[in-house]
Amino acid sequence: MTAATTAPVRDEDDDRTPQESGDPFDRDVLPTPPGATGALLRSLLAPMRGRVALTALLLLLQQAAVQAGPLLVAYAIDSAVPAFRDSDHGPLFAVAAGYLLCASAAGALQYAFITASARVSQDVLLDLRGRIFRHAQALSVDFHERYTSGRLISRSTTDVESLRELLEEGLQELVMTILSAVYISVLLLWLDLGLGAVAVASFVPLYLLVRSYQRRAQRVYRKRSTAIAAVIVKFVETMNGIRPVRAFRREKANDADFAVLNRRHEKTNGDALLEMARYVVGSRVTANTTVALIVLWGAYRVAGETLALGVLAAAVLYLRRLYDPIDRLGMFLNSYQSAAASLEKIAGLLAQTPSVPEPAAPRELPGRRSGLPGREVVFDDVRFAYRTGGEVLPRFGLTLPAGQTVAVVGSTGAGKSTLAKLLARFYDPSDGRVLLDGVDLRDLTGRDLRREVVMVTQEAFLFSGTVAENISIGRPEATREEIEQAAREIGAHDFIAALPDGYDTDVRKRGGRISAGQRQLVAFARALLADPAVLILDEATSSLDVPGERAVQRAMATVLKGRTAVVIAHRLSTVEIADRVLVMERGRIVEDGSPDELIGGTGRFADLHRAWRDSLA
């Protein structure tokens, strides 16, 4: 939506779609290994075991302080008042002191508990956010090609959010409810076994009620989350495609589609609220009936002088507190259910293993053999097939001497991009090895590999920040002079200088509109600054005009002279600067030679080239 955002482009080699429709990636269900969700939760909490225990202790003490009140009431009525009548003021002082102590302790402990539990839950969230982020970054490009960006974003936003709600509101509530239920039951039983037993007995219908609510609510909530997901997809799609929406007058049709989805969500939402209403009535009826029963029996016994009045008063006060939080238990179940679903999705994501792992025992690259700044690339008996099946590149061998510029041409789906991605180690070959100056790419650390091999793709994505920052991604320590120099070499300096704040223009802010062609120039400046030994251009000039493309070629001929370069292009103009041309078809290299040889020959390349030349005449 902002000028600098482009949707990720699936590359041309992805014409393998038909066999993919049964893939778990197509429906948002990554396989979550059994127990992974629990293991994730444990591993998140394990490092703060001590603090969790402290938080629990604080809560335990806080509840003890809070629940002491009615006990003091009973003592005041049954003991302190008669004692006071006998001019013994001690017990009443004790009550006063006790109440003062409990009240202050309850407040202070409340403060301590909330801050402690916030720290635990925030640290869990920080850890989890970081893990998702790092893991997503570590997963290889083939994963990202299949797991849409929207899903990944919702994993680290909405799913983490629902866990936050659980941790911050639900969990506290649940523990407090259970804890106070236990405390109060024990106190009631201690005050009077009979009355306590009645209260405990009321837990049975309450439990059944909660169970049935949970089951019914789960159904409704599942429907609701599907409904809201559909609303979100429609919404995002419309906003991201707002230009075609307008141009093709989709507004009314969209309004109608959206209304259907929105109403479905409205209905499930209403259903969920009604389930809740039913539950509230049930739990309240149970609670209030129990209170009436206990008062009846208690009052009967007070009248018969087998029970002290103070005890009855305390029991009644306790019962209110016992049943008050039960409504909120329902709310907790809701947030628990959505958080469990989210956590499962996150666990599924974290269970994915990067298919392009870092080496266990990395090797150093040798010094440059050739005396040139470039390095030799060898595809040694390489074969590549997707893990889901579907061979893209049958077994082949290829040697690119250091310093050679190789153009790869061929139609959509010929396997050009796959070749490039193997060289950039976005994928690893299914068989065989890719060697850089004799070292298997799999033995190089990411840092070494990325310093030596740089790939510029068709999608010229700009990160938020200034133009200069975007260029210096290629070499973060570069000075402003070096950045400007790179931009000048590639012919991007003039347009950058004309932006409102020149190199300091924020690409996402006012006046930062940057066209597709200009974005590609920035991407080139980035690559130029990185100064790699091997440069891969994958359709990197598709949005450039001819002078832009020429500037890129000039820069490659001068600044990047002696580097090994692999250039994939639809445009044959690019091929002119190549030392060598590979024509690919259905995963195989069908023609290989210098441009002049191929143009002079009778192969496919000669035909293509002739047609292209004609268009320039």
**Interaction residues for another protein, span 233-272 (CB under 8 A):** 233-251, 254-255, 258-259, 262-263, 265-267, 269-270
Q: Closest by alpha carbon to 378, among 397, 394, 363, 362? A: 397
Coil, helix or strand for 565? strand
Which residues in 523-582 contact another protein (CB under 8 A)? 523, 526, 530, 539, 542-550, 570-573
501-530 residues in contact with another protein (CB under 8 A) are 510-511, 513-518, 521, 523, 526, 530
DSSP type of residue 367: P
Determine contact, residues 587/393, Cβ cutoff 8 Å: yes
Look up residue 273 and give its amino acid: L
Hey, which bits of 159-263 come out as E strands? none
Q: Give 557 or 611: the residue with its C-beta nearer to another protein.
A: 611
SS (H, E, C) 391-425: EEEEEEEEEECCCCEEEEEECCCCCHHHHHHHHCC
Stretch that binds another protein, among 47-55, 319-327, 358-366, 593-601 (CB under 8 A): 319-327
Interacting residue with another protein among 53, 292, 497, 557 (CB under 8 A): 292
Q: Does 126 bind another protein (CB under 8 A)?
A: yes
Q: Is 358 in the site for another protein (CB under 8 A)?
A: no
**For 532-560, b where at least 16 C-beta lie within 10 A, e where not — what string?**
bbbbbbbbbbbbbeeebbbbbbebbeeeb
Return the residues of window 6-35 that contact another protein according to CB under 8 A: 6-15, 17-18, 20-21, 26
∠ CA 177-179-182, rounded to 5°: 110
Beta carbon of residue 562, minimum distance to another protein (angstroms, whole number): 21
Q: Which is nearer to another protein, 26 or 381 (CB)?
A: 26
Minimum CB distance to another protein smaller for 251 or for 381: 251
Q: Which stretch binds another protein (CB under 8 A): 179-187, 371-379, 388-396, 444-452?
A: 444-452
Helices vs. strands in the chain: H and E counts, helices first: 23, 10
Could you say which residues in the range 206-225 bind another protein, by CB under 8 A?
none
Asked if 175 is part of the footprint of another protein (rule: CB under 8 A), the reply reads no
Give yes or no for residue 45 binding another protein (CB under 8 A).
no
For residue 367, count CB atoms less than 10 angstroms from its CB and return exposed for 0-12, middle for 13-18, buried for 19 or more: exposed
Binds another protein by CB under 8 A, chosen from 36, 39, 52, 110? 110
Of the candidate residues 183, 384, 426, 503, the single one contacting another protein (CB under 8 A): 426
Question: Given the rule CB under 8 A, which of 36-44, 90-98, 369-377, 556-564 is the region that contacts another protein?
Answer: 90-98
Site for another protein in 135-164 (CB under 8 A): 136-138, 141, 144, 148-150, 152-153, 156-157, 161
Of 597, 587, 134, 190, residue with least CA distance to 352: 134
How far is it, in rounded angstroms, from Cα 449 to Cα 135?
Answer: 20
Distance CA(598)–CA(581), nearest Å, equals: 8
Total binding residues for another protein by CB under 8 A?
A: 189
Per CB under 8 A, the segment of 44-52, 196-204, 373-381, 457-465 that binds another protein is 457-465
Q: Please count the other Cβ atoms lying within 10 Å of the Cβ belonging to residue 492.
A: 27
